[in-house]
Amino acid sequence: MNFIEQTISIFNKAINDYHVLDNVDQQLNNPEDSPIRKTLYHKCWIDTVQWHLEDIIRDPNILPENALIIKRRIDASNQERTDLVERIDDYFLSELEPKQVKGNARLNTESPAWAIDRLSILCLKIYHMTEESQRIDVDDTHRRRCQAKLDVLLEQFSDLSESISQLLDEIKTGDVVMKLYRQMKMYNDPSLNPVLYKNPK
């Protein structure tokens, strides 16, 4: 298996492992055996938990205080997700560095890890749309509509997987130059968010 095929397998394992208990409060038990595989599994696990937190917070009957707690969890989850994506890009920077970057090498609009981030979310969409397309408590119209959406997601998944594999190959051959720009999210930094530095604890 190439790197993207392995990544997809890890993502699907993380999603399936989560759904054994299907509980946003369950502990992560990362079974992978190398730093990059552990990071990929952890990344998809966070995405999966956050998927369900996003469902919960949309409950029209949720108590405001509970919604705030979940919103804070989602904020923390987003920051951890960003940190893991950047860690994956660090891996690519060290592993894919070509012997020589070609003079006409181009820049890509996003780094490989941010494309892999989208791949993780697509795995989740496919898992849940498959569930919806197979529900027995809904009518055929619902199932057909969900199957049509699933078909589009599967095509998108195939295209994205191939595109990422091509990008990794082109970085390795020096046809694409890889740069990593940190996200530098200001709202999570107490020294940069004016609401935080003007109102210290």
User: Model confidence over 84-131: pLDDT tens digits?
Assistant: 999 999 999 999 887 788 989 999 989 999 999 999 999 999 999 999
Residue 137: which H helix or E strand, with range? none
130 inside domain: yes
Calpha distance 56→197 (Å, rounded): 31
Q: Where are the alpha helices (DSSP H) in 31-186?
A: 35-57, 64-95, 112-133, 140-173
pLDDT score of 114: 96
In a domain, 201, yes or no: no
pLDDT confidence of residue 11: 98
Note the pLDDT of residue 85: 97
**Could you give the 3-state DSSP secondary structure of residue 176?**
strand
Rounded Cα–Cα distance for residues 152 and 36 (Å)? 30
Task: Please name the residues in contact with 92: beta carbons below 8 A apart, sequence gap of 6 or more.
Answer: 111, 112, 113, 168, 171, 178
CA trace torsion 71, 72, 74, 80 (10° rounding):
170
Q: Which of 22, 23, 28, 21 is nearest to 42 (CA)?
A: 28
Residue 185's pLDDT is: 78
The pLDDT value recorded for residue 141 is 97
Eight-class DSSP state of 128: H
**What is the tally of structural domains in the chain?**
1
| Distance from C-alpha of 190 to C-alpha of 49, rounded to nearest angstrom | 26
193 found inside a domain: no
pLDDT, position 162: 98
Domain range for 19 is 3-187
- For 106, the enclosing helix (H) or strand (E) is strand 106-107
The predicted model scores a pTM of 0.93
90 domain residue, yes or no: yes
Is 109 a domain residue? yes
Q: Per the domain annotation, does 14 fall within a domain? A: yes
Q: Report CA torsion sign: 9, 13, 19, 20.
A: positive
Positions in the chain short of pLDDT 70 = none
Domain assignment present for 199: no
Residue 194 in any domain: the answer is no
Coil/strand/helix, residue 104: coil
- Cα–Cα distance, 9 to 150 (Å, whole number): 19
